[in-house]
Structure 1
Amino acid sequence: MIPAEQPANETERLQVLHSLKILDTVADDDYDTITELASLLCGTPVSLISMVDEERQWFKSKKGLDVCETAREHSFCAHAILEPTEILEIPDARLDPRFIDNPLTENETPVVFYAGVPLRTDTGVPIGSLCVIDHKPNALTPDQRSALKKLGKQVERLLLLRSMNHELITTKESLKKHNGLLKEFASVVSHDLKMPLANIILTSDIVKKKYGEFIDDQGKAYLDYLKKSSLSMSDYITKILDHYECSSYDIDDTQAFEVNDLLEGVIDLMNIRDNCEILTPENNIAIHCNSTALQQIFMNLIGNSLKYSDKEKTVIQIAVTEMDKLYEFKVRDNGIGIEKEKLDTIFELFTTAGQLDNTGQKGHGIGLSTVKNLVENLGGEITVTSELGVFSEFVFTIAKRVRF
């Protein structure tokens, strides 16, 4: 008997095999179906899906065999993986120097005939084989060899799917962990923002009550506006945090509302100058979606129109169209526009158009990336068209939600 040599990439091969986490797992119908077919098509009493570990070969699926593993030094499959692109076929192992005196050829159900197709990962690393075994001399026909190779490919696809599923599970766990950290961060930020707002609200009331007799009506109106704006912003922060929590736990926080009511709320939250005109849709349609997400989308788009305006009068036009399965929104302004070569990358994180806003500041490239993510989470898409110095128009859709 001549035990198989170790492959040149043995260390990598074992790492790949163990990363699949398939060793010592329970039987699986998907694999068992393949060994049943292999045995039937090749006319052999035994068929195995074997994984060659460091000191053993372990059978993920077995047809016509009771044991779950054998020693690697006795393994036929350990020889098969040495030529990972070829079928290893042994008509009579009792006549082959590699297997003479092998315990597997001398037991009550001896391995006499063997044919094994190596199983490789998508990177070409051999980890085991799909083999058929007979207790007497045999040989495969060309059709049987072809069938065995095709069944081997099916096993490889199952292994690839298993690997991808593990990656998805690992990614999901990682995202869950990071989402937990982000939730804690969002909660802290929310608290740190709302506390100063609460102080502004309280201070406004105190100033109005204590010094009211010294403040004229216009001054009192300013205090009222300051309080109203602070209350609105505090409420908005709360809704943003609620929306984040809903997104983290896949809760579909949808509700019915009229689009102009939402837009009026957005406009009230923003610092709209006297030289700015916002034209809301003439058709005030009812919408059923996540209002907090849609509100944040409009806050970003309208905010950009205000910041990147170079005209004596800023005009922002908002339109909505109801379609069969979507709502389509358009936000168009008469601002500085976006350079043509920037249009394809404007939604990428930390990418900006390069222009300074009307306060001389450069954008941070987060807002439009956030908008794109929100739109896609709502089942839609967003595009932009622009002419430098003339206009910018953002068109986005969101999917209609079924009402229960």
Structure 2
Amino acid sequence: MAIFPSPPEDDKRLDALRNYNILDSLPESDYDAITQLAAQICQTPIALISLVDAQRQWFKSNHGLQVRETPREVAFCAHNIIDPSSPLIVEDARLDERFVENPLVTGDPHIVFYAGMPLVDSDGFALGSLCVIDDRVRQLDADQLSALKTLARQVVNLLALRKANRILSENQGRMQTEAHEQGKIQVALTRSEARFKSLIEEAPVATCLFVGRTMIIEVANQPMLAFWGKGNDVLGKPLAEAVPELIGQPFLDILDQVYTTGVPYEAKSARADLKVDGTLGTYYFDFTYKPLRNAAGEVYAIMDMAVDVTQQVITRRRVEESEARYRALSQALEIRVQERTQELLTANQDLQRSNENLQQFAYVASHDLQEPLRKIQSFSSLLQVKYGQAVGEEGLDYLSRMSTAGKRMSALIKDLLTYSQITTRQQVFGPISLNKVLGDVLNTLDWEIKNRQARIEIAGLSVVNGDQFQLGQLFQNLLSNALKFTPPEKKPQIELTCSLHNRTELSTDIRPASTATRFCQISVSDQGVGFDIKYLDRIFQVFQRLHGKDEFPGTGVGLAICHQVVENHGGAITATSTPGEGSTFSVYLPV
């Protein structure tokens, strides 16, 4: 047996419903007009007048739905009549345990949204509901709910009139009573007509009613009058006379066709030229022409409902025009990109060949230059040992100078080769532990550190994305400089610190090439001779020295190598110093 919710005294409610003699009756235009208006006001595809029978729900009017009845056990309206004091609102039936497995939710018409206003007669019985349905999540505002409630009362009024008519037809023999009842019906019809006109006037969408073949404007609400740019003086006039600019446009012919055939007409984004505030302009509307029939089944009026979509049409056309221009620009842009890509590929290949040639030349040049230098150093040492007494003190000085010059030349060639490799070699970037890099550098400088009795303090360092060879050259040169520029009579005191900073925290004079948002700052501080800060830009250039060769040895390439390594990594390098008090070199690498 079917299980469904039932209100108290359901037997009496069913008796009351059957007394209206409405079940399984033929469609009627008055009811269809109400569901049409409800769907338009609530902007839903389906609107129903549902009457809940013993085992079914039957639809007196089924706007947007083909079937005329469904079993009561799957009816949303069966739940709606349990508490007739308030509407039943279901925003998403897929999330409601009462309906989640309902075949009307899981299958056609795929109900998601339901809003039903109970149809309560004068005896307090909930006969069914006026409901609107959609297949997507929806919400109704206060005006829409108010309109839905008013329309539900109109349905009950029509049912009451129907019942009254039945009673009158059953008592035709009582002429006096019939006349009296007919008077009551006429009053009720007049009131019903007044209420219907009131519904049109209060509808939130532009609505009007044309009567007769000449389309007399019987009622029009303010939104429709605003569309026409007219006032209430157009009421009672034929549409062609009230809005003469419509002559020559298709609307008058369409209305005549609907009046003749009785077939509704609906249009989307239809153009209309209307004179508003004395100015003729172009507008676009979604509208519906709904024929209304009298008791004899003849069309006597047409209800017009319209929505202004002018702005949406203009926006859509602008978007379409923009897309067309974009498509035209994007065949041209793609061709240019392909050409530029090929140019860059060719240039990159040329640059790669140039770098390879330069690396090969640097290697060959350094090898060919180192060989005679080694011989010069060897022969000068040999001459000093074997013939030192023969050449005298002046000759030994010349030989010593020659040997020293050879050593300087050899060191310069090695530094230039390193600089060339850093500038041109293919970089292999990956996660690099700076602690590991510093460990290798300290091993390399172990003899010099012990010889100078240097003390080096290193804080915990980070992991960065970089090239291990280049980072090794960077920190080897920075530590070597810190050792070298500490006077011989002092024991070098060197400190390495590490900290992380957001890009916004960096000083304005720090301008790394990388777009990274965080940077690792590694600072190398010493207590050496320092330098005048006005020479800051000069010290990172090749062959630039601030001290004499006899005072501090070097080639003037080390800091240029540091600058190139940092630049290759998208970072930045700077320094602070005070003469006689030491220097601090700060490197910023992207994390």
Which one has the largest radius of gyration?
A: 2
* TM-score (normalised: structure 2): 0.29
By percentage of residues, which structure has more helix? 2
When normalised by structure 1's length, the TM-score is 0.42
